[in-house]
Amino acid sequence: MAALRQWGDGLPANPAGWLLTVARRRARDHARRDATLARKLPLLITDEVEEEDDEDVTTIADERLRLVFTTCHPALARHAQVALTLRYASGLTTREIARLFLVSEPTMAARITRAKRKIAEAGIPYRVPADADLPERLAGVLTVVYLVFTEGYAPAAGARLLRSELCDEAIRQGRMLLELLPDEPEVAALQALMLLQHARRDAREQAGGLVRLADQDRTRWRADEIDAGLALVGSARRRSAPPGGAFLLQARIAAAHVAEPPTDWTSIAALYDLLERTQPSPAVRLNRAIAVAEAEGPASGLELLDGLEAALPGSHQPALATGELLARLGRTPAALRAYDRALALIGNDVVRAHVTERRDEVARRRA
C-alpha cells in the first residue's frame, strides 16, 4: 500500500530494497506498539493497579490467559467483558469485534468506551484474579476464546478463508484452560468443538476456493485432532447433566458432522433444538433451520428462516440460506434475489467468490 501511494511518479532505483526497508520499519513499529500496549493496558482500563496479596497468587501460568481472566471482570455485563477483552487482551480490532457481534463498528466502539468508563468510575481494580475467583469469570473467558477461534475459522472480511494464527492461539488457550480446570465440562467441550472444526482446515479450500463440508475430501481431515476432539466430547458428557451446556451441544453437533456418512441430520436438528432452548439466538435458529431443511426438506427449513434477515442485519448467512432453500424448491427468481442480498453483505473475498459462483449456477439452470 505504501508503494502504491508513493510510486506514482515512477519506480525507485531499487524497488526490492525499498520494499524490504519499509517492511522492516513497519514490523518494528508493530513490535513497539505491541510492547507499549502490554505495558499500558492497565492504564487503558483504570488508573490504579493493585498488587496481588501473597495468599491470592493465581496458578494461571500463561501471561495472555491471565490477561483474559483479568479483563473478564464480573462487575461488567457479559457482552462488555467479552468485547473489552477481545479488544485489549486478544488483539482483535474494533471492526472485527463488531462483525462477531453483528453490530456496526461505531456501536461496538461506543460499547467498549462505556465499559472502560464504568471500570474507571467504579474504581474496579485491575488485578489478576485468585484461583477462587476463576469460576465466576469462566463463562466470559470461554466466550472470548470461542470468538477468537470464530474470527480465525471464518474471517468476516479479507482475502483469506482461514486465519490459522487465531485458531492456533484459541486452541492453545483452550489447552491451558483444560490444564487449569480439568473438571469443568464446558472447558473440555469448547476444546473439543475447536479441534473438531479445525481438523477439517486442509479440506475446506481447494485452488483458492471454498469447499463445502459435503464435498470435502475426508482423507485430508486431521484424524488425530478428530480423535482428540471426540475423546473430549465423551469426557464432557460424562461430567455434565443432560443435555449439557451450550459448548457441549455444539461439540456434539461437530462430532456428528465428522461421523461416517451419511450425516445424521435428524440428530443434528434435534441437538440444535436443544441448543436453541439452552441459548436462544437468531444465529442458533439459522443453523437449526439449515439442519431441519436437510432432515425434513427445504420448505420446513424455510419456515424457520422467516424474520432472520431482519434479526441479523449485518450477516449474509440468512439471505444465503434462504437463497439455497428457494433454489432447491425451484423458486429461482426469489432465490436469485436472496443471493444478491447475501452478496451485498459478504466481506470475505473467498466466500464472495463461492456465493457468486453458486448464484451463477442457479441462474444458468433457469436459462
- Integer Cα distance of 359 and 319 in angstroms: 12
pLDDT confidence bin for 52, thresholds 50/70/90: very low
Asked if residue 365 belongs to a domain, the reply is: yes
Whether the predicted model's global pTM rises above the 0.85 cut = no
Q: What is the pLDDT of residue 49?
A: 40
Asked if residue 313 belongs to a domain, the reply is: yes
Share of the chain above pLDDT 90, in %: 70
- Integer Cα distance of 140 and 12 in angstroms: 51
Per DSSP, the three-state class of 30 is: helix
pLDDT: is 53 or 327 the higher one?
A: 327
Kindly report, residue by residue over 14-39, the tens digit of the pLDDT: 888 888 888 887 787 677 666 655 55
Rounded average pLDDT over 250-277 = 97
Domain end residue (candidates: 111, 128, 152): 152
Asked if residue 185 belongs to a domain, the reply is: no
- Alpha carbon distances (Å) from 214 to 258, 263, 287, 367: 10, 9, 16, 26
Asked if residue 105 belongs to a domain, the reply is: yes
- Integer Cα distance of 38 and 19 in angstroms: 29
Residue with cell 451446556: 245
Asked if 273 contacts 291 with a C-beta cutoff of 8 angstroms, the reply is no
Asked if residue 267 belongs to a domain, the reply is: no
Q: Which of 220, 212, 280, 269 is nearest to 246 (CA)?
A: 280
Domain end residue (candidates: 152, 169, 186): 152
Asked if residue 94 belongs to a domain, the reply is: yes
- Integer Cα distance of 294 and 338 in angstroms: 19
Kindly report, residue by residue over 322-346, the tens digit of the pLDDT: 999 999 999 999 999 999 999 999 9
Domain end residue (candidates: 122, 152, 182): 152
Rounded average pLDDT over 148-156 = 96
Domain containing 137: what range?
Answer: 61-152
Asked if residue 89 belongs to a domain, the reply is: yes
Domain CATH number, residue 325: 1.25.40.10
Asked if residue 96 belongs to a domain, the reply is: yes
What domain count does the chain have? 2
